[in-house]
Amino acid sequence: MAEDATGLAEERCVACRRDSPRVEPEEAAALIGQIPGWTIVQRDGMPRLERTYKFGDYPAALRFVQRVGELSEREGHHPVMEVRPRRVTVWWWTHAIKNLHRNDFVMAAKTDALADAG
């Protein structure tokens, strides 16, 4: 199992059903260490991964939203995004299990890679 952020970003999402395993607190602590900049927040009674990215201009923010959208369509796992002028917040969680799945950490790492790509 990959133990650095690059490895996490290279994993693929696995199909997720209602009986899929949630990430246990100990594993979550280890995984969050691989994606600095992300925090676990509670919203609507479910934990979510959250990160806000800043951009130099609005078109750059729009391009990022588009790339994250295309990634999520390829992986079959979609985030919620809030798009503001020059700021985009992304939340990952797994609705089917109302919790965090390993997929969410994988997607967070992949999202970072898209932001780094500029």
Residues of this chain that interact with a second copy (CB under 8 A) are 58-59, 62, 65-66, 69-70, 72-73, 78, 80-85
What gap in Å lies between CA 56 and CA 87, rounded to an integer?
9
C-beta of 32 vs 46, nearer to a second copy:
46
Least distance CB 98 / a second copy (angstroms): 16
Query: Nearer to a second copy by C-beta: 40 or 65?
Result: 65
Q: How far is the CB of 30 from a second copy (least distance, A)?
A: 29
